[in-house]
A = this chain, B = another copy of it.
Amino acid sequence: MEFVEIPEVVILRLPVYVRALTQLTDECISVVSSQQLGAHLQISPAQIRKDLSYFGRFGKQGRGYNVGFLLRELRDILCLDRQWTACLIGVGRLGRAIINYPGFTPESFKIVSAHDHDTSQIGQMIGDLVIQPMSELAESILSKDINIGIVAVPAIHAQEVVDCLVENKVSGILNYAPIVPKVSDNIVLRNIDPVLSLQSMTFYLGKRDGREHIRRA
Residues in A lying within 8 Å of B, measured CB to CB: 1-6, 11-12, 14-16, 18-19, 41-42, 54-55, 77-80, 82, 84, 93-94, 96-98, 100-101, 103-104, 107-109, 147-148, 171-172, 174, 178-180, 182, 188, 190, 192, 194-208, 213-217
Contacts and interface: CB of A to CB of B under 8 A. Distances in A.
Contacts of A1: 216-217
A169 to B, nearest CB: 12
Contacts of A171: 205, 208
Given A18-B199, A94-B101, A205-B147, A214 B5 contact: yes
A188 B204 contact: yes
Nearest to A94: B97
A185 to B, nearest CB: 10
Q: Is the interface of A mostly helix, strand, loop or mixed?
A: mixed
B180 A16 contact: yes
B195 A103 contact: yes
Contacts of A217: 1-4
Nearest to A20: B180
17 contacts: A2-B216, A11-B200, A12-B196, A15-B196, A78-B206, A79-B205, A80-B199, A94-B101, A109-B198, A148-B201, A171-B205, A172-B198, A172-B201, A174-B194, A174-B201, A188-B205, A190-B201
Given A5-B214, A18-B199, 13 more contacts: A3-B217, A6-B215, A11-B203, A55-B215, A78-B199, A78-B200, A104-B198, A107-B198, A108-B202, A109-B198, A148-B201, A188-B201, A188-B204
A201 B149 CA distance: 12
A178 to B, nearest CB: 6
